[in-house]
A and B are shown apart, each in its own frame.
Chain A
Amino acid sequence: MEPLLTIDQVTRRFGGNVAVSGVSFSVMKGDITGLIGPNGAGKTTLFNCMTGYISLDAGTIIFEGRRINGKRPDQMCRLGMVRTWQRVKPLGKLSVLENVMIGAFVTTASPKVAGKASLEQLQAVGLDRYADQPAGTLPIGLKKKLELARVMATRPKMVLLDEICGGLNHAETESVLDIVRMLRKRGVTILFIEHDMKAVTSICDRIVVLSSGEKLAEGTPEEITSHPAVIEAYLGGGYHAQG
C-alpha cells in the first residue's frame, strides 16, 4: 500500500504556545486512520494546517505525491481533500439540499445535476426527508450527518473528520459510524479525529496519538490501547476500567 498523505515534521505555533510540534505520519490509501489525543493536543490545528486554513511554521505536507503547503482551502477541496468541522458549520439559511449542492458544485456547474446528485447523497445518509428544511434548524445529530453528506458530494479522495461523533448519543454515534464505513467502501481514505475511544478502536485500521502537540504513539488499535504511554497520557488508565 502507498501513502495518500504524508505529514513530515509539521510545526505550528500560536505565540509561545507550540500547538503542533514536529509531527510526522502517513495515511495509507483506503485506510481509516484515527487521530486521537486529549483536548488541546493539536488535532484540529493539524487539520487546519492540512486544509490550508492556517500556515505551517515548519514541515511539509504531501498529498498524492504533491507538496501542498500554502494551498488554499478551496484548492485542497478540489484536489480531493475535504474536511468536516468539530463545531458544525451548516449554511444555516440554505436548505439541507442546497447545503449538499454547494459540495456537489465541485463536480458540475449545473444546479440541476448538482441537485440530483445531492438528493442521492442525502438518501445515502438518511436526510432526504429534511431536504427542503433550512439547515440551521436541524438538531445536532443531523447536522453532523449533513456535514458528511456535503463532504461526500464533492467526490473526495480523502476526508478529514473532526470529532464527527462529538456530542452524539450512542444510537446517533452508531449511525454516523455506519456512514463512515460506507465512505470507506466507496474507496475514500479517512483521517478521523475522535474522542470516543470505543468508536476509534472499532473502526480504525491505524491510530496516531497526539499529546501536547507531539506524536506520542502510532500503531494498530491493539497496539495503541495497550501502549503504556498512551494509557498514561490519554486514557489515564480509565479506559480499561470502563471496558
Chain B
Amino acid sequence: MKKILIPISLLLLALFLPELVGRNPYFTGIMINVLMMASLASAWNIPGGYAGQFSFGHAAYFGAGAYTTLILLSGNPIDPLLALLAGVVTASLIALITGSIVFRLRGHYFALASIAVAEIVRLSVLNLQFTGGAQGILLSDLTFHGIDLNSKIPFYYGMLMILVLSMGTTAYIQSSRMGYYLQAIREDQDAAASLGINVALYKNRALLVSAALSSVTGSLYGLYIRFIDPGAVLDLRLSIEIILTAIIGGVGTIWGPVLGAILLVPLAELLRSNVIGDTLISMGIVSDVSPVGHFFKEGLAHAHVLVYGVITVVCILFMPQGVLGITRRRK
C-alpha cells in the first residue's frame, strides 16, 4: 500500500505544483527543467544504471528528437505528434546502428563509441544545410489542438507525462525478466551469457528504449523552447549532466534519477543566476574585488558542470549508491 501511496501523492503534488507557485513563469520554467532532466536521467539509467552500459552521448538522442521535430514543423503544417514520432524513429536508428556495431565488442567500447557517435551527430548538424548549421532552427509558430502554447503550463504537463512514461517504463522493465537480465549483464557478462542471456540483444533493447524516451523528451523541449542549435541540444556537456544527475541521485533505481534532477537542476539555476555569489557579496562575506569574489561573481555562473563534477566525486567516494542509497540504508 505504502508503495503506491508515495508515488500517487507525489504525482498529485506535481499536478498542482504550477498552481502552488501561482503559475509563475520563472518557477514553472525551472520545474520544466527538473522534469526534463529527470526524464533524461531516467532514460539514461535503463542501459546505464541497470545494464551498466554507460553512454556518454545521450545528447545525440535528445538532439535527434528536438532537431527532427523542429525541422519537420518549420514550414510544414503537420501534427506535432507526428513530428515527435519521427524524432523517435531518427533516435532509434542512431541507437540501433551504434548498438549493433559496438555491443558485439567486449570491454568499454560502448562508452567511447557513444561519445564518438554523439560528436558525429553534432558535427553533421553543425555543417549541414537543412539543419540550419551553427545558427540553429527557429520555430516561428506552433499550434496544437487549440492549446495556448505561449504559456509554459502545457509544456510543464507535457514533460510530466514524459517523466511518468520514463519512470513507468523503468518500473515495468525492472519488474520483468528484462530487468533481471540487464542487471545480470551489469554484474558479469560472461556469467550472464552462460545462463542463456543474449547479451548483445538485451543491451540493444535497453539502448533502444532509452534513445526513444530521450528523443521524446528532446522533441518536447524543442517545441517548448522553439529555438535550438547544436550547442544547446547536442553538446557533450548535456550528456555529462545527464550522467551526473543519474549518478548523484542513484543509478539502477526508479527514483534515483528523479531525485538527482530535483537536487541538481535548482542548484544549477542558483549558480547560473548568481544568487550564491550575489548573496555572499552583499552579506560582506567576500568582497567583489577580491579574486574569490570575482570568481563568485563571474566564474561560478559558468561552472555548474564543474560543481556537478565535484559533487559526483564526493558522491562516488562517500555514497556510491547515490543520495537515494543513503535514505535506503537508514531504513
Contact = CB atoms under 8 A, between A and B. Distances in A.
Interface stretch (B190-198, B255-263, B266-274): B190-198
Given A53-B190, A92-B187, A102 B198 contact: no
B187 A77 contact: no
Given A111-B176, A111-B177, A111-B180, A94 B195 contact: no
Interface in A94-140: 94, 98, 101-103, 105-106, 109-111, 114
Among A78, A85, A91, the most chain B Cβ lie within 10 Å of the Cβ of A91
Interface string B196-208: 1111000000000
B71 to A, nearest CB: 40
A91 B187 contact: yes
B180 A74 contact: no
A72 interface: yes
B194 A105 contact: no
B180 A98 contact: yes
A125 to B, nearest CB: 16
B181 A105 contact: yes
A51 interface: yes
Contacts, number: 79
B183 A93 contact: yes
Interface residues of A, number: 29
A89 B191 contact: yes
Contacts of A78: 196
A89 B195 CA distance: 11
B176 A74 contact: no
Contacts of A105: 177, 180-181, 195-196
A77 B196 contact: yes
Given A73-B194, A89-B190, A109 B177 contact: yes
Of B181, B191, B192, chain A has the most CB atoms within 10 Å of the CB of B191
A89 B187 CA distance: 9
B187 A94 contact: yes
A91 B194 contact: no
A154 interface: yes
B188 A103 contact: no
Contacts of A150: 195
A72 B193 contact: yes
Interface in B178-236: 180-181, 183-184, 186-188, 190-199
B175 interface: yes
Pick from B175, B193, B194, B197 the residue with the most CB of A within 10 Å. B194
Contacts of B188: 89-92
> Across chains A and B, which 5 residue pairs bring their CB atoms closest together, nearest first?
A91-B187, A89-B191, A73-B193, A77-B196, A106-B196
Interface of A: 51, 53, 72-74, 77-78, 82-83, 85, 89-94, 98, 101-103, 105-106, 109-111, 114, 150-151, 154
Given A77-B194, A93-B187, A150-B195, 9 more contacts: A74-B196, A77-B193, A77-B195, A85-B190, A94-B184, A102-B180, A103-B195, A106-B195, A111-B180
